[in-house]
Amino acid sequence: MELEFLGTGAGSPSKSRNVSAVALKLLDEIKKIWLFDVGEGTQHQILNTTIRPRKIDKIFITHMHGDHIFGLPGFLSSRSFQGGEKMGPLTIYGPKGISDFVNISLKVSQTKLSYELNFVELEEEGLLLENDRFKVYAYKLDHRIECWGYRIEEKDYPGELQVEKLREAKVPSGPIYGRLKAGEVVTLEDGRTIDGKDFIGKAKKGRIVTILGDTRQTPNLKLLAKDAEVLVHESTFGKGEGKLARNYHHSTCVQAATLAKEVGVKQLLLTHISARYVGKMVKVLEKEAKKVFPNTKVVKDFDTFNIPFPERKDDEQ
């Protein structure tokens, strides 16, 4: 599981930062990639990465401001040329109006897609989707227009079969090991009854990733970010600009760091950086946040982060 940032700027593109887009790469887990926001020029940014558009099967939009959606029509159109009829379907999740924006853009440009395009417009907070490996939750944020944050929870991995323990118990190898790994109770040829659960190690905890849209501080942030391995939080304003942040429905780097500290986040990644912050000023943003939450980084375009598994406490091992 990896995060790759395709755009880390706020409002409009700059020479050093494109507008919002981040890829959650789940290639080892489900062989897919999920995009969160698709700002203008996202498909150009993808050309500078190893990301293949055909691997992207879900797009999550936080809100309908242009710096988060203007790249959608172009990306969707170009994806048609990446695999023809073999291209799998794509689902876009987002606020009410996202389907109108995309469909009208495709209609007036007479764009025909070679794959199935589906929409899920968000209405209720809570569990948004679930598959064999992940649950995704969506909660409303506090921005000038309807805006959402997403919490991606990876399900726990089943424990490994303790083969050495089975050998010590003189359990013969073979197909029976598969049944024991499935947790079955089996009877051996010598008459002994073996419970597979007694030979399976502790489950490996899944990871949690939280990706937020633009927002002021609001109680839902704690629901979204609690115990996350990684929190992606906007940092449009710096320390001492709390009043400005509130007036413009955004957050400061210190507010993001305080949230991370309060809810047990492991790593804080700050994005949506204003064009006012360049050069050494970016380091100042990072330094201010680190005083509150040391494991903080201000990200830049094309930064990639591997998301580690949570460490177990000694009594859980």
Say how many residues make up the chain.
317
CATH code of the region 2-158+203-316: 3.60.15.10
**Digit-coded pLDDT (tens) for 217-231:** 999 999 999 999 999
68 is in an annotated binding site: yes
**Per DSSP, what are the bridge partners of residue 120?**
93
Report pLDDT digits (tens) over 64-104: 999 999 999 999 999 988 765 578 899 999 999 999 999 99
Lowest mean pLDDT among 100-104, 129-133, 169-173, 254-258: 169-173
Residues 230 and 1: their CA atoms lie apart, in Å, by 11
Tokens standing for residue 82:
């990446």
State yes or no: 249 annotated in a binding site. Answer: no
DSSP string, 160-204: PB-HHHHHHTTPPPSHHHHHHHTT-EEE-TTS-EEEGGGGB-PPB
Distance between terminal CA atoms of the chain? 23
The mean pLDDT value for 135-162 works out to 94
- The pLDDT score that the predictor gives to residue 84 is 53
Residue 143 annotated as lining a ligand binding site: yes
Rounded (10°) angle between helices 253-262 and 280-290: 30
pLDDT at 143 over 90: yes
Express each pLDDT in 248-274 by its tens digit: 999 999 999 999 999 999 999 999 999
| 250 annotated to a ligand binding site | no
Question: CA of 294: how far to CAs of 146, 203, 227, 260, 266, in Å?
Answer: 31, 30, 16, 10, 10
The confidence score (pLDDT) of residue 316 equals: 44
214 assigned binding-site residue:
yes
Of 199 and 233, the structure prediction assigns the larger pLDDT to 233
Q: What percent of the chain has pLDDT over 90?
A: 73
Distances (CA, A) of 305 to 2, 44, 67, 232: 5, 21, 23, 11
pLDDT (0 to 100) of residue 315: 39
Query: Do β-strands 90-94 and 56-60 pair in parallel, antiparallel, or remain unpaired?
Result: parallel
Residue 67 in marked binding region: yes
Mapping DSSP to helix (H, G, I), strand (E, B) and coil, where does residue 24 land? strand
Q: Report residue 128 as tokens.
A: 């948004």
Domain ranges of the chain: 2-158+203-316, 163-199
What residues act catalytically?
Answer: 67
